Amino acid sequence: MLGGKAFRWLNGGVTNEVYTPTTLPPKKKGAMRYGVIGSPVAHSLSPVMQLAGWSELGVQAEYFRIEIPAGGLERAVPLLLQAGLDGWNCTLPHKGEMFRLSEVHSPSALQAQSVNTVQVVQGKIHGSSTDAEGWSRALREIWPNSLPPKRTLLLGCGGVGRTIARFLPSIGCSSLTLINRDPQRAEKLHHELTPLVGNRFPIHVLDWNMPNMTRALSETDLLIQATSLGLKEEDPLPVPKELLHPPLRVYDTIYRKGETLLVRVARERGCEAEDGLGMLLHQGALSLEIWSGKPAPLTTMRQALYQAAGRET
């Protein structure tokens, strides 16, 4: 359970409301203002976690879910600035476009070619990416004796998948296979990675079909699911369940209240599997550190997030 100060503040500070850049309420006097932008964004648990963190730091802050459809980011950014946001997190489908729109890029954003954390500094948009480090910290918590993942299969080459792919060679991964529903996006990522890794890091691109899935998973230590499949209740499994078996480990970057379908089925099939809740925690804590300039109160943020998700910490 959450401790007193954070829990009392959260009871009055978090709503399930989803806003647009033009429907945000007036900014509270003296408060910092943040949000998470994306589409869909109604499911996001970021507000609970971030507001708990700010409360523990003794800072009055607002944090909103802000729906911005695909293709609408460039028009929305000036409206976010007009609404007084001091920064925001980006989720699907805006991370690549936010990189393009950022005026100052951190080293992490340049490595990822993606932005999930924006800080507004004297009216300028500073972009960073905490996804890769957040993912790495989450993996070190759940599988400390199984890192680095040697043979990795990545499903999904946009946003977070692209960021993780650019990070894998630096942590000792030995090979990477890319499968994307749009094969051109996988080929584009392959071309981006090749100059960075040369011949020392084999990268294979396969079309999204059953024979390729079968072959790739038979030669894989870690499956990273980085598509949007799983966000909706009716979404199908991204891979046929008969292809999931030990010693394969499965990491689903999607999270839901309760297990994602992929995580549930993978565990039923005997695989070690985790969803993206731990990644959300760690990338969110890193975002808070960028905004506040202080160490994030990780324990408080974890308690708030996992309680909201109906999980044990």
Cα(178)–Cα(190) distance, integer angstroms: 8
Q: Is 95 a catalytic residue?
A: yes
Which residues are within 8 A (CB) of 104 and not within 5 positions of it... i.e. 6 or more apart?
121, 124, 125, 126, 127
Cβ atoms within 10 Å, residue 183:
15
Q: Which residue has the tokens 């929305």?
A: 76
- Rounded to whole angstroms, the Cα distance separating 279 from 310 reads 16
CB count within 10 Å of CB 233 equals: 7
28 token code pair = 């509270």
Output the six-digit token pair for 15: 């709503």
| Alpha carbons 256 and 88: distance in angstroms, whole number | 21
* Active-site entry in 5, 27, 95, 188: 95
Q: Which residues are catalytic?
A: 95
